Amino acid sequence: MLCISLVGCQYFNQHENGNPQDQLDEFEHTTYEQERDLPDKQPQLEGGSERDVRKPHPVSNNILQKEFPNALFLNGSPSTNQVALTFDDGPDIRFTPQVLDVLAKHDVKATFFLIGARAKEHNEITKRIHDEGHVIGNHTYWHPNLPKEGLGRLHWELTQTEQVIEDITGIKPRLFRSPYGALNEEMIKMLEEKGNTVIGWNVDSLDWKQPGEDVVADNVLSNVGFGSIILMHDGGDWTMDLSGTAQALDKIITKLKNDGTEFVTVPELVGVPEAK
């Protein structure tokens, strides 16, 4: 495991093979804070960039969705021409404002899954997302690869991010998206018990590969359908250039609106509350 905190490393090295409930209880008393210098105050992805970590798992989350149909959603109803745009890994001081500007231009509301450390550091952007009518979901505090961690770590990441978002917006988010889309049964059971709804996707823009705006737009438009949850990114590893995401977004919205598609938020698409 990649450790970016002395306290965090000490805790996980000592307890990674322990009982999950013991980890959860003890981790409540553990402080986990990043200690290294950050480029332009941009908290980084602990688990690594999408391009280094994310591997194709074409059916694993579909299997989990069948097992937990009321807790995990990969898409909405296939009978209505509605889709939900979602953005991960923000807020980012470079790209989130660009995405928000495009959404405002088209009067489209989206769902942003925010990293707690970034939401806290860039609280004005977080507030703008909320004030402009978009839904905010929980994307953990440090973006670890959660299946490699204990349930105590998940609980800490969940609650710390909830508190940050609630302090800024007044809303405790119900929606949760796991970094890299990485999930297992134990995680979903715990999240369901905590009152969360887990959100995946069924259309991946692959913008994190930085292929350029035309390819990003084509990745979405070639795969979108009724009820699609579309994955895009307004943040990522500091070395990534996601300017193509905002440029592709303009093309995606224009084309789908011309086809009569309605853009809704994830809570509207799947019929769950925005807040706990």
Separation of alpha carbons 164 and 169, rounded Å: 9
Q: Which two tokens stand for residue 55?
A: 């591997």
pLDDT band at 260 (very low <50, low <70, confident <90, very high): very high
CB atoms within 10 A of CB 113: 28
Q: Which residues contact 14 (CB under 8 A, 6 or more apart)?
A: none
The predicted-structure confidence for 75-115, as pLDDT tens digits, reads as follows 999 999 999 999 999 999 999 999 999 999 999 999 999 99
Residue 16's SS3 state is coil
Given the residues 88, 92, 204, 234, select the one marked as catalytic: 88
Query: Tell me, what's the pLDDT at 214?
Result: 97
Which amino acid is located at 219 in the chain? N
Structure-token match 């990745």, residue found: 219
Structure tokens at 25: 């209880």
- Which of 40-54, 120-134, 227-241, 248-262 is predicted with the least confidence, judged by mean pLDDT? 40-54
Judge residue 49's burial from the number of C-beta atoms within 10 Å of its C-beta, 0-12 exposed, 13-18 middle, 19 or more buried: middle
CA–CA distance, 111 with 93 (Å, rounded to integer): 18
The answer to whether residue 55 scores a pLDDT higher than 80 is: no
What one-letter code names the amino acid at 260?
A: G
Mean residue pLDDT across the chain:
87
Both tokens of residue 57?
Answer: 């798992």
- Residue among 248, 177, 260, 181 nearest 219 (CA): 248
Classify 164 as helix, strand or coil. Answer: helix
CA dihedral over 238, 60, 223, 203, signed as positive or negative: negative
The per-residue pLDDT for 48 is 61
Helix (H) or strand (E) holding 270: helix 266-270
Q: Is 88 a catalytic residue?
A: yes
pLDDT tens readout for residues 215-249: 999 999 999 999 999 999 999 888 889 999 999 99
Residue 261 has a pLDDT of 98
pLDDT at 31 over 90: no
**Selected catalytic residue, list 15, 134, 139, 233:** 233
Burial label, 118 (beta-carbon count in 10 A; 0-12, 13-18, 19+): buried
Which residues lie across from 229 on neighbouring strands? 84
Task: Using alpha carbons, select from 184, 108, 173 the residue that is nearest to residue 141.
Answer: 173
The hierarchical CATH code for the domain 6-270 is 3.20.20.370
Query: Does residue 18 register a pLDDT over 80?
Result: no
- Residue in 157, 229, 227, 226 with CA at minimum distance from that of residue 187: 157
157 within 8 A of 140, measured Cβ to Cβ: yes
Question: Residue 234 in contact with residue 136, Cβ under 8 Å?
Answer: no
Taken in order 254, 255, 260, 261, is the CA torsion positive or negative? negative
Q: How far apart are CA 191 and CA 30, in angstroms?
A: 20
Whether 175 and 197 have beta carbons less than 8 Å apart is answered as: yes
Mean pLDDT of 118-126: 97
Asked if residue 22 has pLDDT above 80, the reply is no
Closest CA to 148 of 192, 116, 180, 190: 180
Mark whether 167 is an active-site residue: no
**pLDDT score recorded for residue 237:** 84
Q: Residue ranges of the domains in the chain?
A: 6-270
